[in-house]
Amino acid sequence: MKYTITIDGKQYAVQVKSIVGDQAEVEVNGKSCSVKVEQARQPLPVQRAAQPAPLMTAVPPAQAQVQVPAGGKAVTAPLPGVIIHLMAVPGQGVRRGDKIAVLEAMKMENDILAPADGQISDIAVHEGDSVLEGAVIATMV
């Protein structure tokens, strides 16, 4: 959930990434941190729009279930963020430097480029997915 909060007249953009027990992972103005939740509270009811937004999840790179084929190359996220555009599809040929995806991080768009000439064999993410640094975005052969 994203919030804008004001403390002593200063605004902060806060995104709650996860809460487990009394520990919460949050991002404040683009900086990730872990905080202790003093009182557990019931989640607020969610009002659904006519077409709900897709659920965004972050998958740590160590838990990603992406198999890179022998001789294949994983194209990974250079920093944590949200995939806002996918420009490539499986089976598409790409040249070194072609844009595969756009990752938004700290309100900036970062182009994810093909590291070499080849063919996209798999896209491991969807638009709207939150990814961590090192998460596999695509696989090339």
Topology adopted by domain 58-140: OB fold (Dihydrolipoamide Acetyltransferase, E2P) (2.40.50)
Distance of CA 111 to the CA centre of its chain: 13
- Mean pLDDT, residues 107-112 taken together: 92
Q: What per-residue confidence (pLDDT) applies to 76?
A: 92
Provide the sign of the torsion angle of the four alpha carbons 73, 77, 83, 86, taken in this order: negative
Q: What per-residue confidence (pLDDT) applies to 67?
A: 56
Is pLDDT of 100 > 90? yes
pLDDT digits (tens, 9 = 90+) for 11-64: 888 887 877 777 778 888 888 888 887 764 555 555 555 555 555 555 544 444
Q: What per-residue confidence (pLDDT) applies to 64?
A: 46
Is pLDDT of 115 > 80? yes
pLDDT digits (tens, 9 = 90+) for 71-84: 678 999 999 999 99
Spell out the domain ranges in the chain: 2-36, 58-140
- Mean pLDDT, residues 74-102 taken together: 92
- Quote the mean pLDDT of the chain: 79
Q: What is the model's pTM?
A: 0.52
pLDDT exceeding 90 applies to what percent of the chain? 38
Name which residue leads in pLDDT, 43 or 91.
Answer: 91
